[in-house]
Structure 1
Amino acid sequence: MSERNSSHYQVLQVAVTATDKEIKVAYRRAARTAHPDHGGDAAAFRRVTAAYETLIDPQRRKAYDRSYAAGTVRDTANDEAHFDAPPAGSRASATVHRPGSARNTAGDPPIYVPAYDGVTPGSVPLIPLAQASQQVHGMPRKRGIFGAEARIQREMRTVQLLTRQVLPAIPAARLVNGLQSPADNSHIDHAVLSGYRLALVNSMLLPKGAYAWDGRTLNHGARTIAPPQLAHLVRAMQDIFPELNVTGWTVVLSPTGNLHEPVIDHHRRPSGALETVQIVNAAGMVRGIKEFLASGPAPNTVNVPVLARLLRGMH
């Protein structure tokens, strides 16, 4: 990753949990190195100053964290092309077939990028190894004034599904619960990161039966239900993390707990329609997300800088 593509935390070489005192010490050290009067570079010094001014101010730091560091200056010409599939909204399948590709590594032990055993002396990892090693981060909880007990219970069911049926198959996968939306005042219930793929997941609860998904609404007889709005969040996160392949999933849960209910029939889409979010029941979500994450490049990789940014975006 080039210096211009670094987050403010990377510029100052501090952890995302750094205190004000640690940020001040890191700033003085980085400023001495980057200052033109000491043989440094003017552009590098401006990045150091901008990083300090953002992170030392509590409100600016909070806004920066919850925008997933989207304001970081990017040098797109030097970005590495990790993105392995068309951008969100394309018709491409989530499971890209690679003829003659090497053995799938999704079930292998995690590899951390950058590696913790290769940390430059004097630098600080963005997050501690113990934190990066956890597969689950955060849990559904109260948001705002009202507890929304039904929502919390629904989200807990989704966490259990992902924890029991997806994470064991992909040891490098990291589940982050309760993210702030980068596009509005809403939330992303769950995000699953593995290698260079990110699945955003929201949920809804419907009675058992057969529902027809027409690309906009779920239809059950005369009843029409609009699923949670997730497509714009997928697009926003794709813009923030261009090195990733970001997809969205709305899981429709049944009150009975049957993973195969309700039944979701996917009707033919209008010509030219783009599907940024998959609407599936619990069984479909488990199968689809496992295939999506496992078929990406280096699925046994824990992308530490991306994980750190996601963790700072939790509400």
Structure 2
Amino acid sequence: MADVSSSHYQVLRVPVTATEKEIKAAYRKAARVSHPDHGGEAEMFRRVTLAYETLIDPERRADYDRRYGAGDFQHHQSRPGDYQGARAPGPSTTAHVRRDQTPGRTGSTAGDPPVYVPSFEDPREVPLIPASEAATQVHGLPRKRGLFGAEARIQREMRTVQLISRQVLFAIPAARLINGLRAPADNSHIDHAVLSGYRLALVDSMLLPKGAYAWDGISLRNGSRSVAPPQLASTVRHMQDIFPELNVTGWVVLHSPDGNLHQPVIDWHGKGSSSPAAVEVVNGAGLARGLKQFLSSGPAPNTVVVPVLARLLRGMH
């Protein structure tokens, strides 16, 4: 039986790519098993019916997918795919776990071949996405949106994709880069998301002239000039609510016109020796270094949590 945090797709045991015909067939099968007249439970039958009514209607299904196929996140419980060693870090846990929690093993497993949870070889599981899609490291590309600045936006987003692909995905085989997501709160854009194990990094970008910039966790300044960075903090909070099993962070990478990864220079001008802000503002070199450290120091960084990846893919534009 699916637990209370399962998505509608998991309740009906269909992939996220299921057709109307497949959804109807799955509903008939699940309804027979869960109906109280046939020995089932009323609550499970209610959930089966809700799942069917949502997924069979194109508009309701699209809206559900835009919210990342959310289950009941107010009562999150362990389910297949959740990390079962140390508790998966969330907003109230330590930001950087230095060791993988596998008994008898030292060091990070970030460089190891990917492990898929649940396994595609498990006959009890219905894969939410094909194994080939789960094995792909880069999903989607920047797309034109709006009338102004599209080419410049695509250029900087492509530079971010190339940077993450070359510097991060190469080092962490289980990391998955998803481009062009919808933000859960207002249907705005999340340029990039990087998932590895039980950590998720949301990444936006800017193209700025060389020079020295000061970041205090709220505003970005170049001398006396104030530069407005992308507003990621609220999106990070919403994504953390949607994925309570993950540790979600936000990053804004500043690209220089000539592609120098060490420019612009960003100095932290807030209180304390290091940035406590919900969103990090970094140059290209800082993003590569910071993402690798953040993703690889989490629990089970060589794990691809298939249900989470499937939900993210359904949130793409």
C-alpha contact (below 8 Å) 2:185/2:238 kept by paired residues: yes
Distance 1:263 1:98, change over 3 A: same
Deviation of residue 234 (structure 1)? Answer: 0.3
Write out aligned runs for 1:36-55 (5 A).
36-55=36-55
C-alpha contact (below 8 Å) 1:83/1:244 kept by paired residues: no
Deviation of residue 118 (structure 1)? Answer: 1.0
CA RMSD between the two structures: 2.3
**Runs (5+) with no aligned partner, structure 1:** none
Distance in 2, Cα, partners of 1:152 & 1:129? 29
Write out aligned runs for 1:1-315 (5 A).
3-72=3-72, 75-76=75-76, 83-85=87-89, 87=91, 94-98=95-99, 102-120=106-124, 124-144=126-146, 148-269=150-271, 275-315=277-317
Corresponding letter in the other structure for 1:25:
A
Q: TM-score, normalised by structure 1?
A: 0.92
Distance in 1, Cα, partners of 2:197 & 2:33? 33
* Deviation per residue, 1:26-71 (Å, 9 max, x gap): 1111111111111111111001000000000111100100101235
Distance in 2, Cα, partners of 1:52 & 1:270? 52
Distance 1:83 1:241, change over 3 A: farther
Q: TM-score, normalised by structure 2?
A: 0.91
Deviation of residue 216 (structure 1)? Answer: 1.4
* Deviation per residue, 1:155-183 (Å, 9 max, x gap): 00000000111001000000000000001
Distance 1:16 1:77, change over 3 A: closer
Corresponding letter in the other structure for 2:193:
A
Corresponding letter in the other structure for 1:29:
K
Distance in 2, Cα, partners of 1:263 & 1:220? 10
SS of residue paired to 1:242:
coil
Distance in 2, Cα, partners of 1:197 & 1:137? 17
C-alpha contact (below 8 Å) 1:216/1:226 kept by paired residues: no
Distance in 1, Cα, partners of 2:64 & 2:90? 28
Distance 1:109 1:223, change over 3 A: same
98-107 or 244-253: bigger deviation: 98-107
C-alpha contact (below 8 Å) 1:205/1:255 kept by paired residues: yes
Distance 1:98 1:129, change over 3 A: closer
Distance in 2, Cα, partners of 1:270 & 1:95? 18
Distance in 1, Cα, partners of 2:49 & 2:148? 40
SS of residue paired to 2:170:
helix
C-alpha contact (below 8 Å) 1:259/1:283 kept by paired residues: yes
C-alpha contact (below 8 Å) 1:4/1:74 kept by paired residues: no
**Runs (5+) with no aligned partner, structure 2:** none
Distance in 1, Cα, partners of 2:242 & 2:100? 30
Distance in 2, Cα, partners of 1:159 & 1:117? 31
SS of residue paired to 2:121:
helix
Distance 1:9 1:85, change over 3 A: closer
Identity of aligned residues (%): 68
